């Protein structure tokens, strides 16, 4: 029995929810969409749900042009513990996904599992941290089962792969490359090109300016503040931008919000971003990810003072520097 057959076998009803991580990016959305279309072959209905906002202009364009339907979890009435949920591009217990009322029966993800993510919580889990994108896993389900993939699905999945691997240049595996070649034969590359060249709005430049003006550099490590309530996807883009600096091998970019501090972390050297982020935020928040890219969140109580926020940022930077030092020592052994 192949992996997708295992997934179908573990769905007991004729309808499931497919839940992405909060503030879903193109890879999460494409994975959920590809899986939703795939389940139709087995007469299983599905609804794609998420928490937060679709923040980036290009991501909204991607959704609208491909006609992908998503539902905000806050608008779903009557979800109960008997409703079945498949998690894609995230895992239960991560700081970037809300615990919905339903029962998370299956997990499909490409992120490493940390101590707060118990893979035994599911009926079945297909977690492949060596992959650069979750979209690759979904595409393989089609290819391995000889199921026809239409142009919309292929376009979504290849856009997801390109987005999460920076055009096959970051954290990419041979599987990502092989799947990309297959999808390329089917997808609408003209649409993808148009989305990639319309990814910034004028107001986004303010966040870049905030980050540039606030940057702190310690050897080859940088910290930068994008400003108040910056969209999650934009924080990640600025984190990628900071890593283009010749002097930087590891960067932490963050934004202060009403409920906490959101962080995006990138690495191009020997420092493992996922492990360092998980270690640095343990006890004060949560986070993790891949060796090259990670994210995290530190909650704050409502009404905390500017001084308390400033002290928390100092603590976060101190904990990251300590975790980096420990990671370097482990790597040297």
pLDDT of residue 61: 87
Domain 3-196 identical in fold to domain 204-332: no
Burial class (CB in 10 A: 0-12, 13-18, 19+), 117: buried
If one compares 120 and 272, the residue with the highest pLDDT of the two is 272
In what side-by-side order are the strands of the sheet with 286-289? 216-218, 221-225, 250-256, 260-267, 293-299, 286-289
- Please check the confidence at residue 242 and state whether its pLDDT lies above 80: yes
pLDDT band at 1 (very low <50, low <70, confident <90, very high): low
Distance CA 296, CA 281 (A): 7
**Domain definitions of the chain by residue range:** 3-196, 204-332
Give mean pLDDT, residues 267-291: 93
- Please check the confidence at residue 38 and state whether its pLDDT lies above 80: yes
CB 84 within 8 A of CB 102: yes
pLDDT band at 269 (very low <50, low <70, confident <90, very high): confident
- Please check the confidence at residue 195 and state whether its pLDDT lies above 90: no
pLDDT of residue 326: 87
Q: What is the pTM of this model?
A: 0.84
CB 316 within 8 A of CB 262: no
Distance CA 134, CA 132 (A): 7
The pLDDT > 90 percentage for the chain reads: 79
CATH of domain 3-196: 3.90.1640.10
26 to each of 42, 71, 146, 158, 243, how far by Cα in Å? 25, 15, 25, 10, 21
What is the per-residue pLDDT across 119-176, written as a single tens digit (0 to 9) for each? 788 999 999 999 999 999 999 999 999 999 999 999 999 999 999 998 998 889 999 9
- Please check the confidence at residue 74 and state whether its pLDDT lies above 70: yes
Give mean pLDDT, residues 176-197: 93
Topology, domain 204-332: Diaminopimelate Epimerase; Chain A, domain 1 (3.10.310)
pLDDT of residue 330: 67
pLDDT band at 111 (very low <50, low <70, confident <90, very high): very high
Q: Is the dihedral of CA 323, 326, 332, 333 positive or negative?
A: negative
**For residue 42, what is the DSSP state?**
G
107 to each of 10, 18, 138, 314, how far by Cα in Å? 11, 10, 12, 35
pLDDT of residue 331: 65
């Amino acid at each position: 029995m192949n992996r997708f057959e295992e997934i179908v076998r573990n769905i007991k009803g004729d309808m499931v929810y497919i839940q992405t991580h909060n503030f879903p990016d193109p890879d999460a959305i494409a994975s959920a969409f590809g899986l939703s279309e795939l389940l139709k072959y087995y007469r299983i209905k599905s609804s794609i749900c998420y928490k937060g906002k679709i923040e980036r202009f290009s991501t909204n364009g991607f959704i609208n042009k491909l006609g992908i339907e998503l539902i905000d979890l806050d608008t779903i009435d009557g979800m109960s513990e008997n409703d079945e949920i498949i998690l894609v591009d995230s895992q239960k217990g991560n700081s970037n996904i809300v615990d919905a009322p339903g029962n998370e029966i299956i997990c499909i993800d490409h992120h490493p599992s940390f101590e707060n993510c118990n893979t035994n919580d599911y009926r079945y889990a297909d977690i492949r941290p060596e992959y650069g994108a979750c979209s690759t896993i979904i595409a393989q389900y089609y290819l391995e089962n000889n199921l026809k993939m239409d142009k919309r699905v292929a376009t979504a999945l290849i856009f997801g792969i390109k987005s999460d691997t920076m055009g096959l240049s970051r954290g990419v595996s041979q599987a990502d490359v092989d799947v990309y070649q297959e999808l390329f034969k089917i997808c609408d590359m003209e649409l993808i090109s148009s989305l990639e060249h319309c990814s910034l709005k004028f107001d986004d430049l303010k966040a870049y300016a905030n980050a540039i003006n606030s940057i702190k550099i310690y050897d080859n490590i940088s910290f930068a503040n994008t400003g108040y309530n910056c969209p999650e996807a934009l924080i990640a883009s600025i984190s990628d931008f900071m890593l283009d600096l010749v002097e930087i091998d590891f960067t932490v970019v963050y934004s202060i919000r009403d409920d906490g501090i959101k962080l995006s972390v990138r690495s191009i050297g020997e420092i493992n971003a996922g492990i360092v982020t998980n270690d640095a935020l343990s006890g004060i928040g949560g986070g993790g990810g891949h060796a090259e890219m990670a994210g995290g969140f530190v909650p704050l109580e409502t009404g905390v003072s500017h001084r308390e926020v400033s002290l928390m940022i100092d603590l976060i930077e101190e904990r990251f520097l300590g975790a980096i030092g420990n990671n370097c020592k482990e790597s040297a052994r």
